Structure 1
Amino acid sequence: MAKVRLSGTITGAHDPHRSTRAKLLYLLYDAGWDIYNSNGDQRITLSNIEKKITEADGFVFTPGASLEDMFKAVSVFVGYQTLDKHLRGKPTVILNSDGSWDPFYGVLGHLHKLGTIKQEFREFLLSADTPESVLTTLTGAWQTGVPDAGREKIEDSMMPQVVDEPPPSHLLGNVCVFCSATLEEESYLSDGESVGRAIARAGFGCISGAGKSGIMGAVVKGSVDAGGWTGGSNVPHIIELEGLPKGLSSFWLRPDIYTRMEVMIEHSNAFVIMPGGAGTFQELLALMIFRQQGNPLMQDKPVVIYNRQNRNGIGFWDPLIDLLDGVCQPGEFVVATEMEDILPAIQSRLPQVVSNAS
């Protein structure tokens, strides 16, 4: 029988979403679906999320969207975008009867307008208003399949050569830049090179998702051209879509995007969120979840969101910052609206000159 994975956690007998979940369980089970996480007590981590995705045949997200729920939903979408074979043909439905998913959809809609999300995301993350419509939507999507993401491979499937040059002892630490690998507008690429160059000149190593294209490739180029140490991580099926940049000092090949994120976080002392798409949204949510869980991988590591302003004063990340303001505590991240403010924001928040041993 097909298996569907439910999101969400029921906090007790008086949880307002308990009856909705009970109705969902009945309808899905009665229609022939087996159900993972029926009690809402399974935790998803970067280490196990790929396994959880692999073992399910479809996904249903429930009302009461939490930071963790949104991370899981955008992770599924990123999997669709990057042609993850483990998501092939597996539909996703979001029950948004309480409107708690509206800010999440708002971020994706904003990024779609800006061009960093090319796909019509609502065709992949299907919305439903009632438990009954969840069943109808899920059944229909199970029969018709998931839409094509419209991407093609640019590299063959040969494994890249792994390089591992340790950071030099004089580095103050490593700054990780999360950003778009598809945005090719010249002014954004110039920003990427400037950030990579500034990181190197300030005495930091530069870590990225090791993509050759877009802002990500520009960041690496800026760091390499300035003589900086550069590290990065990527996975085989994304390398086939985006290629690898030249000049990486260290490269960590990982089997999935979640262990890729984990190794990048582990090797970094600070984070910059540049303009990006669903993947950058996903990565920032992972940082915030780690921070709220007290994960030692995020201890004393500042997160700076570069909220690039357009000519009308609208920030690239305005909807995302609004979303985070509703679920994060003050100080969990800082916003910079000017390029020259990014490095000072990092330097002023690092507890001390850090060792490159991390």
Structure 2
Amino acid sequence: MSSIRSVCVYCGSSDFVADSFKEAARQTGTLLARSGFDLVYGGGRVGLMGIVADAGLSAGAKVTGIIPDHIKRYEVDHLGLTELIVVESMHTRKRMMVERSDAFVILPGGIGTLDEMFEIITWRQLRLHGKPVIIVNIDGFWDPLLALLDHMTLTGFMRKPNLPGAEDRLYHVVDSVEEVPPLLARLTEAAHKVKSEKM
């Protein structure tokens, strides 16, 4: 893992969610931008997705949205982004989001967010990438899922997510958005330390 410059944010597109989730999305966009990170996300203007993008833009980040054409037709694409990329399929969207990002932050969301989360963690387990994955557990939203992941680990279907060495963990869990930028900084420092020790 090299220095983290661009952070992909996975989150929900529903407007009918608790204010605490909306505030977390606002903080995510703002704090990542103020910490010097550019943002990559799914390109929508609704729900937490739109809030993250608007907050990032307002705080000075470059925000790239990647949206499939069949979703753009519903007129939910964000037209005020630094860059909006329209692709032909969900598969292409997810691949490009991974290629353009150095780390992944997962906020509350629905089945689309789950799809993205499981894919990026699976790819990490298969060593298809070595980029940090951070689950932000606002108000315990992810508690049921985290319990399931623990159960999968205990029953032998998944390797332990927290191996020795922070840089080698499958995913990290934090309870607040404020913890994300310093964690990203520590992970970058740890990766550079390991790399220098191997040289």
TM-score normalised per structure 1: 0.46
Pick the aligned partner of 1:347 from 174, 185, 192.
Answer: 185
> Is 2:146 aligned against 1:308?
no
Q: What do residues 19-75 of structure 1 show as CA deviations (whole Å, max 9, x unaligned)?
A: xxxxxxxxxxxxxxxxxxxxxxxxxxxxxxxxxxxxxxxxxxxxxxxxxxxxxxxxx
> Is 2:52 aligned against 1:215?
no
> Is 2:8 aligned against 1:176?
yes
Pick the aligned partner of 2:29 from 188, 196, 207.
Answer: 196
Structure 2: which 5+ runs fail to align?
153-157, 163-168, 193-199
Partner in structure 1 of residue 165 of structure 2? none
Q: What do residues 290-329 of structure 1 show as CA deviations (whole Å, max 9, x unaligned)?
A: 112211xx22x111100111xxxxx101122122232242
**Counterpart of 2:55 in structure 1: which amino acid?**
G
Alignment of 1:268-347 (within 5 A): 268-295=101-128, 298-299=129-130, 301-309=131-139, 315-325=140-150, 326=152, 327-329=158-160, 330=162, 331-347=169-185
Counterpart Cα distance in 2 of 1:319 and 1:290: 22
**Counterpart of 2:82 in structure 1: which amino acid?**
S
**Counterpart of 1:205 in structure 2: which amino acid?**
D
Give the percent of matched residue pairs that are identical in Structure 1 and Structure 2.
Answer: 33
Structure that is richer in helix per residue: 2
Evaluate the alpha carbon distance shift between residue 282 and residue 175 of structure 1 in structure 2; reply closer, same or farther with a 3 A threshold: same
CA contact (8 A) 2:69 2:88 kept: yes
Match of 2:144, SS?
helix
Counterpart Cα distance in 1 of 2:159 and 2:147: 10
Match of 1:234, SS?
strand
| Greater Cα radius of gyration, structure 1 or 2 | 1
Evaluate the alpha carbon distance shift between residue 258 and residue 197 of structure 1 in structure 2; reply closer, same or farther with a 3 A threshold: same
Alignment of 1:1-358 (within 5 A): 173-185=5-17, 186-241=19-74, 243-295=76-128, 298-299=129-130, 301-309=131-139, 315-325=140-150, 326=152, 327-329=158-160, 330=162, 331-350=169-188, 351-352=191-192
Match of 1:231, SS?
strand
CA contact (8 A) 1:213 1:242 kept: no
**Counterpart of 1:304 in structure 2: which amino acid?**
I
Match of 2:73, SS?
helix
CA contact (8 A) 2:4 2:102 kept: no
**Counterpart of 2:6 in structure 1: which amino acid?**
N
Match of 1:349, SS?
helix
Higher relative contact order (Cα pairs below 8 Å, separated by 6+ residues): 2
Counterpart Cα distance in 1 of 2:144 and 2:75: 27
Deviation at 1:258, TM superposition (A): 1.3
Counterpart Cα distance in 2 of 1:275 and 1:212: 16
Structure 1: which 5+ runs fail to align?
1-170, 310-314, 353-358
| Number of residue pairs aligned between Structure 1 and Structure 2 | 174
TM-score normalised per structure 2: 0.81
RMSD: 1.7
**Counterpart of 2:135 in structure 1: which amino acid?**
I
